[in-house]
Amino acid sequence: MNYIVKNTYLLTIENLSKDATGQASCGNKLFSVHGALPGELVRVKTFRKKLNTYQASLMNILRQSTVRVNPHCLHFNICSGCNLQHMPYGFQLNFKLNSLKNLIKEAALDFDRAISVIKEEQVGYRLKARLAMKWVTKKEKVVIGFRERGSGYITDSSTCSVLHERLQKIVFKLPALVEQTSVKNAAPQIEVVTDERIVAIILRHLKPLTSDDLTKLLAFCQEFEVDIYLQNGGPETVSKIGEVTQMYYEVAGCQLKFSPNSFIQVNRDINNRMVNIVLEEMNLNPEDCVIDFFCGLGNFSIPLAKHAKKVLGIEFDSDMVKLANENAANNKCRNATFIKSDLYKSEIGLDSICLSDYNKIILDPPRSGAAVLISQLNLEAASLLIYVSCNASTLMNDAKILICKYGYEISNVFLLDMFPQTIHFETIMVFKK
């Protein structure tokens, strides 16, 4: 029952796409509708054609799915930050699990065991966020939020249910603060992070701040007990104002310090579960030697070093390498060493490292995967390799290399719901020989 009414469309949603948008057809046209569920009869309005598909906004629902729930955020229909809030949480998990199973099937990987699904809190989990900010003359105020879905505009947000409660208490006070400064029309971005004790803010500004601006920022720090950092250029320009407190988090009995602009996992509970799964699957003994590629500040390396003979962490970012070495010292892990190397170069420069000395490996690459790296390595000595992925598509490509070139077999797979209310998730794939 799909037909056109006065430049809008009545569509019956047939299924969900890989990005969880409702899919429908009308004549020879294909439609993608955010927020629609299979079986629903909906009225939509198109706003963009991308390739052969019309992207459409949901106007109203004439026949509603029995599984639909009310979104818990009033900005859900506009904001691009979340895209699954209209689904029950169990439905979200099944969607992600089926997505992962389909990718494994499409890649023709030999794994038919059950995939373990790891979940924690559905909301209030996010410890770090980067938000857009802008002075809007028509509204005569600064707006803050994620981008609107399908546009470059900023969602004028007053709440965000996925942010940790400590961030929610601070974030929506920031527009009023920035409005009082001389850079209200030159502050395009703000980052917020909490270690669940304190909150740190990084204010991106395109014009110099005045002494009066700094006074107001410091007063805000004191009133709300937060730390503020300034950024007038790239990441290297981040600098604190006033006294700041060292941030840290605990995982697997280790205390790891970090900076407000460090990469950390945004979901602390899932990160704890993830590290513990890696420890269990590694099953380390005092003679095991481990390499941690893309080690960051030591999220896996430091806990692993508590059980292994030695751990070598390799990371491109100099600041993260420095933090990792400091974290090793602070946790009395003298058997953990961290070095800098660009693992995306065609010549990664690891000739000085004897890979045959290491019998267990962990990879935790960015979304682009690790194909360049694993294609160069000699992994004959590594009986176990654990791949932690934030992009299951690139994981599948890399898994093929590990299986075909090095003879690994997949022994276990875990899906970790690091980002509830979104389509994103983490995957742990365990390879053994």
Model confidence band, residue 320 (pLDDT cutoffs 50, 70, 90) = very high
Q: Do the domain assignments include residue 74?
A: no
Q: Concatenated DSSP letters for 58-90?
A: EEEEEE--TT----SSTTTTTBSS-S-TTS-HH
Q: What is the pTM of this model?
A: 0.94
CATH of the domain at 335: 3.40.50.150
Element (H, E) at 144: strand 141-145
β-pairing, 336-340 vs 310-315, is: parallel
What average pLDDT does the segment 238-251 reach?
Answer: 93
CA-to-CA distance for 116 and 130, rounded, in angstroms? 30
Active site residues: 390
CATH of the domain at 219: 2.40.50.1070
Asked whether 32 and 49 are in contact (CB, 8 A), the reply is: no
Same domain, 277 and 406: yes
| Cα Dmax for the chain | 73
161: which residues sit within 8 A by CB, 6+ positions away? 72, 73, 123, 124, 421
Model confidence band, residue 349 (pLDDT cutoffs 50, 70, 90) = low
Q: Do the domain assignments include residue 82?
A: no
Burial class (CB in 10 A: 0-12, 13-18, 19+), 280: exposed
Q: Do the domain assignments include residue 260?
A: no
Same domain, 280 and 405: yes
Residue 149: per-residue pLDDT: 87
CA-to-CA distance for 291 and 293, rounded, in angstroms? 6
Ranges 60-69, 217-226, 255-264, 341-350: which has the least confidence: 341-350
What average pLDDT does the segment 34-62 reach?
Answer: 92
Asked whether 382 and 359 are in contact (CB, 8 A), the reply is: yes
Structure-derived torsion over alpha carbons of residues 197, 202, 208, 214, reported in degrees to the nearest 10 = -10
Query: CA 96, 102, 108, 113 torsion: positive or negative?
Result: positive
Q: Concatenated DSSP letters for 266-278?
A: SBHHHHHHHHHHH
Domain extent for 33: 3-63
Q: What is the mean pLDDT of the chain?
A: 95
Domain end marker among 187, 218, 247: 247
Residue 2: per-residue pLDDT: 53
Number of domain units in the chain: 3
Model confidence band, residue 5 (pLDDT cutoffs 50, 70, 90) = very low
Nearest to 338 by CA among 293, 279, 278: 293
The 10s digit of each residue's pLDDT in 281-304 is: 999 999 999 999 999 999 999 999
What is the token pair recorded at 162?
A: 């996925």
Same domain, 147 and 217: yes
Element (H, E) at 49: strand 41-50
Same domain, 276 and 406: yes
312: which residues sit within 8 A by CB, 6+ positions away? 289, 290, 291, 292, 336, 337, 338, 339, 353, 358
Same domain, 202 and 283: no
Same domain, 139 and 114: no
CA-to-CA distance for 121 and 98, rounded, in angstroms? 21
Which amino acid is it at 396?
A: M
CATH of the domain at 50: 2.40.50.140
Provide the 3-class DSSP secondary structure of residue 222: helix
Same domain, 211 and 350: no
CA-to-CA distance for 94 and 343, rounded, in angstroms? 34
CA-to-CA distance for 281 and 385, rounded, in angstroms? 10
The 10s digit of each residue's pLDDT in 81-136 is: 999 999 999 999 999 999 999 999 999 999 999 999 999 999 999 999 999 999 99
CA-to-CA distance for 288 and 305, rounded, in angstroms? 10
What average pLDDT does the segment 211-237 reach?
Answer: 96
What is the token pair recorded at 301?
A: 């390396």
Q: Name the phi and psi angles at 344, rounded to 5.
A: -105, 0
CA-to-CA distance for 181 and 36, rounded, in angstroms? 42
